Amino acid sequence: MTDTTPQETYGALQDKEPQKPPQSQWREVWLQFRKHKGAVFGGGFLLFITLAVIFGPYIWTIDAQKLDIRAKDMRPIYVALWDGDAKTSWGHPFGTDQLGRDILANMLEGGRVSMAVGWLAMILTMFIGTFVGVVAGYFKRLDGVLMRFTDLVLSLPILPITLVAVTLFRQPLVASFGPEGGMFILIVGIIGVTSWMQTARIVRGEVLALKEREFVLAARSIGTNSAAMITRHLLPNVVSPIMVSATLGLAAAIITESALSFLGVGFPSDFPTWGKLLADAVSRMEAFPERVMLPGIAISLTVLSVNYLGDGLRDALDPRIRGR
């Protein structure tokens, strides 16, 4: 009978119980996301601006198209701080334009369209770009065809494309979705179809490099099929360049929309968007700086917050960073 005292084991090897209760993956993501101040701020601002443009017009009920020629060229209310003689009024806190339309109402109304165009066109762009990029990078046989197709689209000038699309599709779209809805679909479509090429090429480049990595080889050796390979192994690894493209894509979509309106192939003139408010105000930049600054700031802040949000999401979704 020998008494054997239990062998002292290393503390590190003891594993009596989990130190914290198990959490779902998404809770982990949320916890990580919360640590990123910029992302939280960006998300908050984006939520604010989205709510503002959705519900704002119900609170600030002046019609954006209401003309009041006697109250034209009003300055925003803050100008009164240093210039007591300026034409200001609490009835128009952001002032009015050269026809007496309320600028705050136009900003809210314009924000709706710009945000909707920006998001939808960006999602469309990312979807086409990622799809083409991944397929071209992964399936060698399709690479040549898809990349030559990308070259083709890249070399087509956007203005004739837009004119052709307006000529061919405006009438049927307007007939089925009304003048505003029809133009909206057309413009989102045009921007989406003409701006995915950069994303596609970058994604393809990344996929080409990833394909040679060991984990892909490992996955292939256990018989992973192509669909699973792409969705489980490749896509999560190309999220970061896609995020960057998406942020830039949102800004580009908002600006492309304004350039289209500027060239006369965009929305009707009584349909404000941020880009169009900005473009229309450039000629009066010296006398009324706020008319360019307000939409300019709105576009910049939106893009900036999408960018931070993207940064935070990328970090939160990357298991290598999460928990460090």
Partner 1 sequence: MKLKTLLLGAIATSALAPAAFAERGADGNVSIIYWQAPSILNPFLSGGTKDVESASMILEPLARYNETGALVPWLVEEVPTVGNGGVSEDLTQITWKISPGIKWSDGTDFTSADVKFTYEYCTHPEGGCAQLTKFEGVSSVETPDALTVVVNFEKATPNPYGPFVGGESPILQAAQFADCMGAKAPECTDANFGPIGTGAFVVTEFRPNDVITMKANENYRDPAKPAFATVTFKGGGSAEDSGRAVMETGEFDYGWNLQLAPDVIAKMAEGGKGTPVAGFGPLVERIMLNQTDPNPSLPEGERATATHPHPFLQEPAVYKAMSMAIDRPLLVEVGYGDAGNVTCNWVPAPAIFNSEAFDCSTQDIPGANAMLDEAGFVDTDGDGVREVNGVPMKILYQTSTNAVRQDFQALVKDWWSQIGIETELRNINASVFFGGDPGSPDTFQKFYADVQMYANTFNGTDPQSYLGNGLCDKAPRPDSQWQGENISRFCMPEFDALHAQLTETADIDARAKIGKELNDMLVSNGGMIPLVQRGRVSAHANTLGGVVLNVWDSELWNVADWHRVK
Partner 2 sequence: MLTYTIRRLVLAVPTLLFISLAIFLLLELAPGDPMANQPLTIPEEVRQKMREALGLGQPWYIRYVKWLIQFFWIEPQVMVDHWFGTAFAEGKQRVLSWQTRSPVMDIVYQRIPQTLWVVGVAYVVAILIALPIGIYSAYRQYSAFDNAGTFISMIGFSIPPFFTGPLLIVIFAVQLEWLPSVYNTVHEVVDWPSFKIQLAQMALPVMVLALQITAQLNRFMRASTLDNLNQDYVRTARAKGLKERTVVLSHVVRNSMIPVVTVIALNVPNIFGGAIITEVIFKVNGIGQLLITWLFANDIPGVLTLTFIFAILIVIFNIIADVLYGLLDPRIRYD
Contact residues for partner 2, defined by CB under 8 A: 36, 38, 144, 147-148, 151-152, 154-157, 159-161, 163-164, 167, 198, 201-202, 205-206, 208-209, 212-213, 240-241, 243-244, 247-248, 251, 254-255, 258-259, 262, 275, 278-279, 282, 285-286, 292, 296, 299-300, 302-304, 307-308, 318, 320-321
Site string for partner 1, 175-214 (x = CB under 8 A): x---x-----------------------------------
Residue 157 beta carbon to partner 1: minimum distance, rounded to whole angstroms? 14
Instruction: Determine the 3-state secondary structure of 63 from DSSP.
Output: coil
Residue 167 beta carbon to partner 1: minimum distance, rounded to whole angstroms? 6
Residue 32 burial class via C-beta count within 10 angstroms: exposed 0-12, middle 13-18, buried 19 and up? buried
| 260 contacts: CB under 8 Å, gap ≥ 6 | 162, 187, 190, 191, 266
- Stretch of 62-70, 120-128, 205-213, 230-238 contacting partner 1, by CB under 8 A: 62-70
What kind and span of H or E run contains 164? helix 158-194
60/105 Cα distance (integer angstroms) = 7
Residue 4 contacts partner 1 per CB under 8 A: no
Residue 154 contacts partner 1 per CB under 8 A: no
Nearer to partner 1, 267 or 308 (CB): 267
Residue 184 beta carbon to partner 1: minimum distance, rounded to whole angstroms? 14
Q: Are 267 and 261 within 8 A, CB to CB?
A: yes
Residue 263 contacts partner 1 per CB under 8 A: yes
Residue 280 contacts partner 1 per CB under 8 A: yes
Q: Which does 265 bind (CB under 5 to 8 A by kind): partner 1, partner 2, none?
A: partner 1
Residue 67 beta carbon to partner 1: minimum distance, rounded to whole angstroms? 5
Instruction: Determine the 3-state secondary structure of 311 from DSSP.
Output: helix
- Cα 123 to Cα 1, 186, 217, 249, 313: the distances in Å are 75, 15, 31, 9, 16
DSSP designation for 231: I
Residue 163 contacts partner 1 per CB under 8 A: yes
Residue 322 burial class via C-beta count within 10 angstroms: exposed 0-12, middle 13-18, buried 19 and up? middle
Of these, 23, 176, 231, 269, which contacts partner 1 (CB under 8 A)? 269
Instruction: Determine the 3-state secondary structure of 153 from DSSP.
Output: helix
- Cα 191 to Cα 65, 143, 256: the distances in Å are 26, 24, 7
Q: Are 242 and 235 within 8 A, CB to CB?
A: no
Residue 115 beta carbon to partner 2: minimum distance, rounded to whole angstroms? 13
Residues that bind partner 1 (CB under 8 A): 65-67, 69, 73, 98-99, 101, 163, 166-167, 171, 175, 179, 263-265, 268-270, 280, 282-284, 286-287
